[in-house]
A and B are shown apart, each in its own frame.
Chain A
Amino acid sequence: MTALPVLRPSRWAPLAALLTTSVLLTACGSGDGGSGGGSGRPKSGGTLTFAVGSDAGCVDPQQVGSNDTIYSVRQTVDSLTDQDPATGRIVPWLAKSWDINSDATRFTFHLRSGVTFSDGSALTAQVVKDNFDAVPKLGALGTLAEGYLSGVQSTTVVDPLTVKVTFKQPNTQFLQATSTHTLGIESSASVRKTPQQKCSDGIVGSGPFVLKQYVQNQSITLAKRTGYAWGSALWSKKGEAYLDKLVFKVVPEAGVRAGSLQSGQVDAISSVGKANEVALKGGQVALQRRANPGVVFGLGLNNARPLLKDARVRQAIQVAVDRSQIADTVFPTGTRPATSVLAHTTPDYSDLSSDLSTDTAKAKSLLDQAGWQAGGDGIRTKDGKRLSLTITWFPNSATNQPALELVQQQLKAVGIDVVLKQLQVTQFATTLQSGDFDVVWGNVTRSDPDILRSSFSTRLGNFYHLPASSLDTALSGQAAATDTAKRGKLVAEAQRLLVQNAYYVPVVELQTQLGVSKKVHDLAFDSGSRVQLHDTWIG
């Protein structure tokens, strides 16, 4: 064989890099435009092209957990109920009404008549039962669904349009769960398929759009369901959707997504990060944002670790963190610093900002009281031990590392040493289950305060190793409370206990940010900060 010539590293590389950078930079300087978005009268017809960053490899709403894919598949199914994103109230959709018994163990839904799936079959109580019987069997592929239906005893058909779900223990959250895409109702024929088949071939639903084509890693195409007449009580348009067609293109590169929206090749894009905001400001694009409900991004403390068993150390961390600095520096514009363990878009959220304001003096005095004395290198020590914590994190979001580097600096300022340890996303579950961590960084999206119970009750997984306390009583109490005022009080109590004992250190809310062309109107967020496209029109 002939010898290969040696390729010399080039003197030109820096110049080339400079040239390309300057071109890209100038490309970012877009002009300011009016923010009119002239509304006018809604009209039917047209195609909405929506660029998303990823493909979950599955088009079954009951199994998909990734927002990028939920945006599309959500449109193919209806749920028994819907949740008002403004108030958190549950309103009718496929169920026109429901009854819940006094301890929230029995839910009876009265179905709307005349609803059909796109294969022509009718919605009956039996179909709902088939769905709820099958969902727990989706196994590891449908973990969300399984949580919603945990403890289910039976689902019974009372009459053709009445279905009753019975649980072994109180389960108030189930009503909100019926409003999620995860418990969207699929036709009996779809339910009988294997989870894998449902993933690759899609399912038959009764939703305002029907799956036309799914090309893995490439696109999901939906067409309007003609004759649709059973929309959610929240929607402004009755009957069919405005748009004829929805095309979801998978465009992994954030810069290409932004450029495609700016140049009119697509009408809307998902996941706009801070870096792309400038390019999209002004012009013919509007940025739409909403905080995800659920447990905010924060430091999940392992309360069983010797260092963190001491409430004063936890409380010191709680007030040493400067939440506003983190929200403003790292996250997309408009992201709110945490003001509770729950995001402000979660029903029954209560504002605890006064407990969460930064106070380094207080943090230092708390650590002094706990016996941690300032050492030579700025890190406190006690009995020869350094006050050092490891924060374990996972690269599931670009904001994680810069956010945690700020936390590291902020805690160092009061004498706490922080080591950052990155693991693979796939290790998240095992890390939590093994309990082998000081602190983990994460969040959970859920539009029902019961997420506090799944995350922090010592009677469930208790991954953060909280001690049994009156918090458990409040968490179990809210799960059994059918009276909304009573439930609200218990949820508020739980948030207060979590924050004041600093079992969890809330840091920043997760905000969903979309870029939407100004010719697109009424592209609305639902209660889970995903999109509802029935009312959307182009004009």
Chain B
Amino acid sequence: MRRYVIKRLAQAVGVLWAAYTVSFLVLDFLPGDPVTAMAGAGMDSGQVDPAQLAALRHEYGFDKPVLVQYAEYLGRAVRGDFGDAVSSGRPVTSVIGDALPQTLQLTGAALLLAVVLGGGLAMVATYTSRRWLRQLLLSLPPLGVSVPTFWVGLLLVETFSFRLHWFPAFGNDGLRGLVLPALTLAVPTGAQVAQVLAKSLLTALDQAYVETARAKGAGRRRVHLRHALRNASLPALTVVGLLVGQLIAGSVVVETVFSRDGLGRVTAAAVTAQDIPLVQGVVVFGALIFVATNLIVDLVYPLLDPRIVVASDRRASFA
């Protein structure tokens, strides 16, 4: 077990470093730099004195060779210091810290909705004996996955805000403001949960042990919930781990459509302004959450299925 955990932790650090490095390289390849972005924001503005730009670049260290910049940033990042955002001058960590609660609320609510709705759909679809209902329910997840989040959001706003006036169309105000964005974000996520869970439930229900359980006189409901679900939930759990990353990415679109403050909006703005320190901070932070969730998922597996640790340890010794 200890080896399993150490190996997972080492992988997590590797992923964080890779995320940091790749985002640094991508930003470096982009034309322009944050200083001209800041000064030339107005194409409407007058002429910018090149000497002043040079001075600003020097202040932020953008005039140093790329490798030196990379090493300096990485060195500070390891100590948890991501520097100051170029556009606002505030420390990156506090910009992220301020935006985080809103995004956690949104993604948390969306994940909950996704698991409840997606899981519920899969359960009903596999439990029902009506063929048409099963067909109908099972055709919903592919639809949910393929409709762009952007459209879903606009559609919900149009219907429930502009027409029915049930929920506000924008803003971070309270629970009512959370409903539509969380629902929007939950549609593709829930659809994936439903797809995976339904598929593995159907597979599990075909297994011999289910036959055995039935033969022993277990009722349909008991077989479904106790025997099939426990085994079928493993793939679904894996997907949930991956979906956390997707939820964070999805918040960029959803927070823009619903004008919510949060990490997604910070990301979008930072990328537009080529605010390198801020983008780096967001990327590493996103990677951190992703890695942490998957670490938790990995650690939960053995609890659901004791065979996993054994298998993993064996694999580790080959590596």
Interface set, chain B 160-199, CB cutoff 8 A to A: 161-163, 165, 168-172, 192, 195-196, 199
Contact B170 A260 (CB under 8 A): yes
Interface residues of chain A: helix, strand, loop or mixed (majority): mixed
Interface set, chain A 174-219, CB cutoff 8 A to B: 196, 199-200, 215-219
Contact A196 B89 (CB under 8 A): yes
Interface set, chain B 28-63, CB cutoff 8 A to A: 30-33, 35-50, 52-53, 55-56
Q: Is B69 an interface residue (CB 8 A)?
A: no
Q: Is B157 an interface residue (CB 8 A)?
A: yes
CB-defined contacts of B165 to chain A, threshold 8 Å = 263
Q: Is A23 an interface residue (CB 8 A)?
A: yes
Contact B33 A200 (CB under 8 A): no
Q: Is A144 an interface residue (CB 8 A)?
A: yes
A410 to chain B, nearest CB (A): 23
Q: Is B133 an interface residue (CB 8 A)?
A: no
Interface residues contributed by chain B, number (CB under 8 Å): 69
Number of A-B residue pairs at CB separation under 8 A = 192
Contact A426 B44 (CB under 8 A): no
B298 to chain A, nearest CB (A): 8
CB-defined contacts of A251 to chain B, threshold 8 Å = 169-170, 259
A450 to chain B, nearest CB (A): 11
**Cα-based distance from A48 to B34 in the complex (angstroms):** 35
Contact B88 A199 (CB under 8 A): yes
Interface residues contributed by chain A, number (CB under 8 Å): 71
Q: Which of A13, A66, A454 lies in contact with B147, CB distance below 8 A?
A: A13
Contact A260 B169 (CB under 8 A): yes
Q: Is A105 an interface residue (CB 8 A)?
A: no
**Cα-based distance from A141 to B34 in the complex (angstroms):** 12
Q: Which of A57, A218, A424, A461 lies in contact with B171, CB distance below 8 A?
A: A218
Q: Is A428 an interface residue (CB 8 A)?
A: yes
A536 to chain B, nearest CB (A): 22
**Cα-based distance from A146 to B162 in the complex (angstroms):** 44
Stretch at the interface among A3-11, A38-46, A321-329, A382-390: A3-11
* Closest partner residue, chain B, to A13 (CB atom): B146
Contact B38 A140 (CB under 8 A): yes
Beyond A144-B42, A256-B170, whether A5 also contacts B146 by CB under 8 A is no
Q: Is A250 an interface residue (CB 8 A)?
A: yes
Question: C-beta contact mask, A427-438 vs B, less than 8 Å → 1, else 0?
Answer: 111101100000
Q: Which of A8, A199, A255, A260 lies in contact with B142, CB distance below 8 A?
A: A8
**Cα-based distance from A399 to B200 in the complex (angstroms):** 50
Contact A147 B46 (CB under 8 A): yes
Question: C-beta contact mask, B128-152 vs A, less than 8 Å → 1, else 0?
Answer: 0000000000010011011100011
Q: List 30 A-B contacts (CB under 8 A).
A: A2-B234, A7-B192, A8-B142, A13-B143, A13-B147, A17-B147, A20-B154, A27-B158, A57-B87, A143-B42, A147-B45, A147-B46, A218-B171, A250-B259, A252-B256, A256-B154, A256-B157, A259-B169, A260-B161, A262-B162, A396-B43, A423-B31, A425-B41, A425-B43, A426-B32, A427-B31, A427-B32, A427-B36, A430-B32, A463-B47
Of all A-B residue pairs in the complex, the 10 with the closest CB atoms, nearest first, are A426-B32, A147-B46, A10-B142, A65-B42, A196-B89, A140-B39, A429-B40, A426-B37, A13-B146, A259-B162
